[in-house]
Amino acid sequence: MSDVQVSQSEAPLLKLNFLSHGTLESRDLELSRKFYEECLGLQVVRTSNVSLLIKLGGDNTIAVVQSPKKEKMPILNHNGLDVESQEEVNVAHELLAKHKDRWGVTQITKPALQHGTYSFFFCDIDDNWWEILTNPRRGYAWLFERGDQEGRGHMDKSFDRPGID
């Protein structure tokens, strides 16, 4: 347990502007780029001889850095790809399951209602985990409008979510 006390009324220590990016690792940037562009439909730009930058539908980006000794990503560290309906989740699942060998998908879970959304997870050729899930157009931004939750919060299967079938 930490002794650090944080008051919501105090100004933050750091004055930051924007949560701009995260990072993934890749064993083979060219193979990863092909997967990101041709399978997932992400925008990709090469930023150096050992890195790419990917994004989809917004300004937040993920840097993809070449790492030949990359370890498998734990599933809790996954990245989310949002769709609007449960049917779109099911279609994405069917397509990935059908073409998993072509794209190097090593594991894929069944779609299910979990943590307040309908989704499934899959592991790519670089052992990075992804989740395809139902979410409103702005992703999880609506949770900030709701404020802090108690109990199971958005993890509860009966949690009232906006705009999801």
Model confidence band, residue 164 (pLDDT cutoffs 50, 70, 90): low
Each residue's pLDDT tens digit, 38-47: 999 999 999 9
Residue 112: its pLDDT value, please? 95
Domains of the chain: 19-70 (3.10.180.10), 71-165 (3.30.720.110)
Burial class (CB in 10 A: 0-12, 13-18, 19+), 122: buried
Contact 150, 130 (CB under 8 A): no
Q: What is the pLDDT of residues 53-86, one digit of tens each?
A: 999 999 999 999 999 889 999 999 999 999 999 9
For the entire predicted model, the pTM comes to: 0.85
Mean pLDDT across the chain: 89
